[in-house]
Structure 1
Amino acid sequence: MSPSAPSRLRIKSADVLIAESGADLEGNGLRRSMGLFQLVCFGIGAIVGTGIFVGLSDTVAQAGPAVLVSFVLAAVTCVFTAFSFAELGGAVPVSGSSYSYAYATLGERTAFLVGWCLLLEYGISVSAVAVGWGQYLNELLGSVIGRQLPAALSNPPGAGGVVNVPAVVVMLLAALLLVRGIRESARATAAMAVLKLAVLVLFCVIGFSAFRAGHLSPLAPQSIAGITSGASVAFFSYIGFDAITTAGEEVRNPRRNIPVAIMVCIGVVTVLYCLVALAAVGALSADQVADRPAALSLIVNRVTHSTLGGGVIAFGAVVAIASVVLAVMYGQTRILMSMARDGLVPRIFERVSPRTSTPVANTWIVAAVFAVPAAVVPLDVVMNLTTIGTLAVMAVVNLSVLVLRRTRPDLPRRFRVPLFPAGPVLGIGFCAYLIYGTGLATWLQFAGFLLAGALVYALYGRRHSRLGQQAARQERQSPAGPARAAVSAGASAAAREG
């Protein structure tokens, strides 16, 4: 069988994935330089940003004072999936994250579609995050110098502007830092993570000082439907915790540190988000918070009757959102690197600079491509599509845990999902529930996106797949025929790469 012939299920074993992670196909390995603290800060850096600083007002618009319930519901979904990511991240510590897990359990076609969806979670979401950065940059400039950037240069079309220049600038700055080296990027992310946590704690202190219980009534003006829709919007605030697993090849002791970092990040972020949401709707009514850009600065300004406090919050948001751009762009480049190793995307994405041990060309391509939607697409257009893509990926990760437990019970696991198999099954169920809350229009957009991905795989990925080419060579050389060739391809690839 040739790669262009009708393909059978192609699964790359976990052993092969781990063997390949030792060095890329050009002979230049990534450098293991991240410890547990840096990894936790990297995870917080990837999560805390636009979702809470900008998206909070959208969640309040859907759920009203019950925004706290929406955040808890979104957090529960993340917790179940975080358990699955923790197990898989420790068992298969490679850069490919959910793409690699799908390849090891569900086959190449599913893995490609997972990687395709990750373009939404990492690529498109970094564009959305960059859009939110411009809003708070204007708020900061207004507080410090009393002037803001012209709307035409700080907002995309459809939101009162022509091109969002700040969004492009922050993406290029993140790319510049990433190509310098992972050690420098990790240090910057750690510093920014500590700063933005401090700013959110300050917001909670100010918000609770003006807390009024009457602002929480009626609790759920749009009943369960509003809470569900709010949870789907709130879920955007948690996107990024799985970026921790994309650092699998650059973390010291990854089998231990990756699971620990995931659970610490989810715990810290969930508590912080719930406190911020409660402080926000307690300080001002839900109607005053809903659909307001830079909502946290607005609340602090109203409570303190000054623009100084809002300026501090805006500064924290500028730093926070910049760190998300940095961490999420990092995750996108590592996913593309893994896909390039497998031949499913062009080889330029796998090349690592021997000087900096970073994928330089990959990083600049990602920055250039996704700066375009950041410059011209309004934030609310991409949030729902990003959310549904991420939820679909998380459902696949939960399914991968179920499959890998059955097919590779011998694989070393430093962390195991509790309440197995109920935990992954509940994770799939919660993901499906939040997907339902995104609405029919988003379902149709996502279906079209998946169809486009299937077409790209059929026209490029399947034909250039290295695993498929290996199987074809084995089939031609092996008298035992296609069945034996398919089984032996993975073992042969492991020997070649190891």
Structure 2
Amino acid sequence: MSTTANPTALTRTLRLPSLVLFGLAYLTPLIVLGIFGVIASETGGASASAYLVALIAMLFTANSYGRMAKAYPVAGSAYTYVRRTIDGRVGFLVGWAIMLDYLFLPMVIWLIGGAYLQAQFPAVPMPIWIIGFIVITSVLNVIGIKVADRTNLVLMSFQILVIGFFVALSLAHVAGEDGGAGLVSATPFVGIDAGFAGIAGGAAIAAYSFLGFDAVTTLTEETVDPRRTVPKAIMLVALIGGGIFVLVAYVTQLVHPGGTFDSPDTAAFDIAVTIGGNFFGAVFLAALVIAQFTSGLAAQAAGSRLLYAMGRDGVLPRRIFGVLNPRFRTPVLSIGAIAVVGLIAIFMDVATSTSFINFGAFVAFIMVNVAVVVYWARERRSGGAHNVFLYVVAPIIGALVIAYLLTRLDIHAILLGSSWLVIGVVVLAIITRGFRRQPPELGVDAANDAAEDSIS
């Protein structure tokens, strides 16, 4: 095999533990506490059920991502899978929709991190914190995915440690108040005044926490043996992350049953002080900020790979987005583009910036599930045989569940997301000359050959 470096090829260095770590960093396990009050309020105190419903929905969709990652082991995620199986124009619109997630999620992460720090150190202007987040994460991602990988390991270790202390202190607090019997309760699942609609609405919000498992697929071309490694990583990230979310929501809801709080946005911080005093409250706050940094690092890396895939295909300007830096072998200009988008956080608030991210993710999830069924039908016509449950039944269930969760989003999210899709249709019409031709693309075989040329 050639050892000559290919200027359009990413370097395969990541193995299963690194991919799982990347996905968990993107999920940011501590975010379950950051938005606990919001979900508990929405569900009437049944936050554990909301996360359980979201986990089940994500597992069906994670299966579909795994099927597609095995069939098409190249960067691009949902955009690549849909255009390869259904149609290039549909794939473009899916890629356009998911850009809401990949482009703007880092901005939201940096904004939330800046808000935490600004609240703690009000003398320092918010833009300073935001720019600091952007500069540090961008430099780490430019230097290379292996450096970002090592940084993730250190920061994730601290994050998991804090979660462990939070769970232990919560259990000790409940046992001290209600005895050992208080540790086993259905209340975190059924709530005080919970209903199905409220739990479904909470699950739609909780889905924010699961957006990391699909990000794993954007690193396919930097993964060793991706046909085996990526599907395993996807399922492990969803299972481990979902298990953490359900457990933490359960014990936190034991400490504070119901969904009434003085301030839902800071409910978890108040609970941290209750169970561990002011010192643990300070540690918890520090962990939240570090979690935002870790998540931002992973989100920017994933977003830059999506832009790189679309640039390499010629859907976005190839000279800007479809090139790698010859020294670092990373998509520097794509990383920089996400950094520039992140600067918008200086002029926005958290509520506005997060209102339409899930719309794009849900559209992508639905279409990946559909793509698996289309792939199965095409393979069946050509004589191929695949498991009917994994390739038909599970994807259909996944698509239906995600479609329902999409209807539970805030109306502003639906309107903003739909507007973004309309803009995408206009762009598509321009680049395809009235939808008469397919958007430009780089074939799967060529992409694989380019990636393999970088293996020494």
Interval containing the TM-score (normalised by the shorter chain) = 0.7 to 0.9
Aligned residues of 2:30 and 2:163 also touching (Cα < 8 A): no
Supply the distance in 2 between the matched residues of 1:251 and 1:440 (Cα, whole angstroms): 39
Residue matched to 1:125: 105
User: CA separation in 2, counterparts of 1:30 and 1:86?
Assistant: 21
1:314 aligns with 2:285: yes
In structure 2, distance between residues paired with 1:315 and 1:345:
38
> Bigger shift: 103-112 or 244-253?
103-112
Deviations 1:219-270 (A, max 9, x none): 2525222111111111111112111000000011111111111111111111
Match among 231, 241, 264 for residue 269 of structure 1:
241
Q: Give the 5 Å matches for 1:399-478.
A: 399-408=370-379, 418-460=389-431
1:193 aligns with 2:166: no
State the match for 2:122 in structure 1: 149
What amino acid is the match of 2:99? L
CA distance in 1, matches of 2:112, 2:443: 44
Distance 1:165 1:418, change over 3 A: farther
The CA deviation at 1:53 is 3.6
Query: Displacement of 1:192 after TM fit?
Result: 1.9
Q: Is the 8 A contact 2:74 2:444 kept in 1?
A: no
Q: Is the 8 A contact 2:313 2:322 kept in 1?
A: no
Give yes or no for contact 2:155–2:294 (8 Å, CA) kept in 1: yes
Verify: 1:253 aligned to 2:253, yes or no. no
SS, match of residue 326 in structure 2: coil
1:230 maps to 2:210: no
Q: Is the 8 A contact 2:112 2:350 kept in 1?
A: yes
Q: Contact (CA 8 Å) 1:342, 1:465: kept in 2 or not?
A: no
1:219 equivalenced with 2:191 (yes/no): yes
Query: Which residue of 354, 365, 368 maps to 2:337?
Result: 365
**Matches of 1:252 and 1:491, distance apart in 2:** 17
| Percent of pairs with identical residues | 26
SS in 1 for 2:315: coil
The CA deviation string for residues 15-70 of structure 1, in whole angstroms up to 9 with x for no partner, is xxxxxxx999x734211111111111011011125742422221112012111111
2:69 paired residue number: 89
Query: How far apart, CA to CA, are the structure 2 residues paired with 1:404 and 1:376?
Result: 43
1:405 Cα deviation (Å)?
A: 1.5
User: Take 2:391 and 2:16, find their aligned partners in 1: how far apart are those partners?
Assistant: 26
C-alpha RMSD over aligned residues: 3.3
Equivalent residue for 1:169? 132
- 1:358-417: CA deviation from partner (whole Å, max 9, x where unpaired): 011111121112321x22222222334111211110000101111112223599x9x968
- Deviation at residue 466 of structure 1 after TM alignment: 10
Gaps of 5+ in 2: none
In 1, are the aligned partners of 2:43 and 2:199 still within 8 Å (CA)?
Answer: yes
Q: How many pairs align?
A: 439
Q: Measure how far apart 1:439 and its partner are.
A: 3.8
Match of 1:328 among 299, 302, 307: 299
Using the size of structure 1 for normalisation, the TM-score is 0.80
Report how far residue 197 of structure 1 moved.
1.7
Distance 1:49 1:381, change over 3 A: farther
Contact 2:73 2:448 in 1 (8 A): no
Shift of residue 459, structure 1, vs aligned partner: 2.3
Structure 1: distance between partners of 2:349 and 2:325: 35
How far apart in 2 are the matches of 1:39 and 1:466? 36
* Whole-angstrom distance in 2 between the partners of 1:91 and 1:496: 15
Q: Does 1:244 align with 2:244?
A: no
User: Given the superposition, is the C-alpha separation of residues 74 and 165 from structure 1 closer, same or farther in structure 2, using an over 3 Å criterion?
Assistant: farther
Contact persistence 1:243–1:331 (CA under 8 A): yes
TM-score when scaled to structure 2?
A: 0.87
